[in-house]
Amino acid sequence: MSRVIKHNVRVEIKANIVLELTEQEARALDGIFGYNVDVFLKVFKERMGSHYVERYEDGVRSLHQTIRGVLARPLSDIDKARKQISASPSFTAKEDKGND
């Protein structure tokens, strides 16, 4: 009598890393990833060598999409808030008092 044993083994490791950035760091990251990812990778490989980034190209592409999707809105909101605050008469008056 022959028995058939079926089994399925699946190992999955997931990591979610929460990264807190200052505005300056977020703007720097946005600036770096503001370029077309293919152009970025091409220039990186030309300047630094492809061996530094070859293994991580998929990750760079994914990171590019994430950064472009995540940072645009908060940075735009910061710009709008800063513009509204600087246009506020009470803000201007406080700034003027502080410069005496």
Count of CB atoms situated within 10 Å of the CB of 64: 19
What is the pLDDT averaged over residues 70-92?
88
In terms of Cα–Cα distance, which of 86, 84, 77 is closest to 26? 77
Report helix, strand or coil for 36: coil
pLDDT of residue 88: 83
Q: In the numeric block, which tokens belong to residue 25? A: 């760091």
Q: Is the pLDDT assigned to residue 100 strictly greater than 50?
A: no
Task: Give residue-wise pLDDT tens across range 1-52.
Answer: 678 888 888 999 988 888 899 999 999 999 988 889 999 999 999 999 998 8
pLDDT interval class at 99 (50, 70, 90) = very low
pLDDT of residue 92: 59
